[in-house]
Amino acid sequence: MNIMTIRDLSILFCFVFGTTHVAAATTASNIKFKPCPESPNCVSSLSSDKKHFIKPFEYSDRSENARQRLIDILKNSQGARLVKIEGDYLHAEFRSLIFRFVDDVEFYLLADESIVHVKSASRSGYYDFGVNRRRAERLRSAFEDPAK
């Protein structure tokens, strides 16, 4: 009769629970972006309506490299401040130069799909005059084409 050692049990535990955790963490349904409000001052790659939808970012290298590239872009973006870096989730605040309005920009990397979901939303006001969409597209351009 084989008796499992503590080492065997710990390997089994890590395999069963680690695999479950990884699978759960990489599904789009578990991303904790709040939905965009009805106002036109938000874009999200998880939005189901055309008014708020924006394509997720795509990458072809390792997810760790993509994550670091995104962090570097945010650190070098004017008016940006990284608020939270937690695993595959990033949250940055962008402050406008003149009126000092704050917009929240969130990212969630899905390594299994080689995409980054993005949400950019104004904290206040109703109209943003396309600022959040343009910002997300600028970040996409810098992210998807590092040579720029």
Residues 48-63: tens digit of each pLDDT: 999 999 999 999 999 9
Asked whether the beta carbons of 79 and 97 are under 8 A apart, the reply is: yes
Residues 102-133: tens digit of each pLDDT: 999 999 999 999 999 999 999 999 999 999 99
Residues 72-103: tens digit of each pLDDT: 999 999 999 999 999 999 999 999 988 889 99
DSSP string, 19-82: HHHHHHHTSGGG--PPPP-SSSSEEETT-SSTTTB-PPEE--S-HHHHHHHHHHHHHTSTTEEE
Residue 68's pLDDT band (cuts 50, 70, 90): very high
Q: How far is CA 42 from its chain centroid?
A: 15
CATH topology of domain 32-144: TATA-Binding Protein (3.30.310)
pTM: 0.78
Find, among 97, 93, 58, 95, the residue nearest to 74 by Cα. Answer: 93
Q: What is the mean pLDDT of residues 32-50?
A: 94
